[in-house]
């Protein structure tokens, strides 16, 4: 069976719903598309639905009910893509203005990212894809203070020296073929 399956949205339990809504709306430009409450086995849960795309009712759902005393957050990161260095820098500036902490700009060789913590210490990654691929994992600091052209030249020079360097489209075609082969193998297994 060949099923088109794509990540669409995520839900996040929060301690301070108002503060978290404000952060995602003001710092990252999401729009509240709906809000309400549902009954759950643990009691009422207030929900805020957020999106940056009119084709998606919600891309993030904030849900009340996260206990304040949890000392380990099982969420590794929430990643959001932007399409330019200018966009990445603008979002970085907005994150700083809105109290994000632990801002760390890095390159993964195939992307430029800014990692930070939202007001409840969830790790966010805002990233821009680069036009090439390198083997992962890879993570090195990057200076977003450089102008676009010298920064892109430095990133490409670095990436060319790393294992697996190739144009993103070549990598994409290989992955598309691998995924098609996997789907075909699953289909054959199911047909038996």
pTM exceeds 0.85 for this model: no
| 54 plus 87 within the same structural domain | no
Strand partners, 127: 81, 113
- Does any domain span residue 188? no
Task: Say whether 19 sits in a helix, a strand or coil.
Answer: helix
Summarize pLDDT for 134-190 with one digit per residue, the tens.
999 999 999 999 999 999 999 999 999 999 999 999 999 999 898 888 888 878 887
132-170 in b/e form (b: 16+ CB < 10 A) is: bbbeeebeeebeeeeeeeebeeebeebbeebeebeeeee
| 43 plus 18 within the same structural domain | yes
Summarize pLDDT for 34-57 with one digit per residue, the tens.
999 988 888 899 999 999 998 898
Domain region containing 44: 1-67
Please state the domain count of the chain: 2
Angle between helices 85-97 and 148-160 (to 10 degrees): 110
| 63 plus 82 within the same structural domain | no
CA nearest to 82, candidates 130, 120, 116: 130
- Does any domain span residue 147? yes
- Does any domain span residue 186? no
């Amino acid at each position: 069976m060949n099923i088109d399956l794509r990540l669409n949205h995520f839900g996040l339990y929060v301690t301070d719903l108002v503060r978290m809504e404000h952060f995602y709306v003001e710092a990252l430009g999401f729009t509240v598309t709906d809000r309400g409450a549902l009954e759950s086995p643990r009691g009422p849960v207030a929900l805020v639905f957020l999106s940056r795309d009119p084709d998606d009712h919600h891309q993030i759902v904030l849900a009340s009910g996260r206990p304040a005393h949890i000392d380990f957050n099982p969420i590794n990161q929430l990643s959001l893509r932007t399409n330019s260095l200018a966009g990445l820098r603008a979002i970085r500036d907005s994150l700083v203005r809105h109290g994000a902490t632990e801002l760390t700009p890095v390159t993964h060789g195939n992307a430029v990212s800014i990692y930070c913590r939202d007001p409840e210490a969830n790790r966010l990654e805002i990233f821009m894809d680069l036009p090439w691929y390198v083997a992962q994992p890879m993570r090195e600091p990057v200076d977003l203070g450089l102008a676009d052209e010298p920064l892109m030249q430095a990133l490409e020079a670095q990436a060319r020296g790393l294992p697996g360097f190739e144009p993103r489209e070549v990598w994409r075609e290989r992955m598309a073929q691998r995924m098609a082969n996997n789907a075909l193998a699953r289909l054959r297994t199911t047909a038996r």
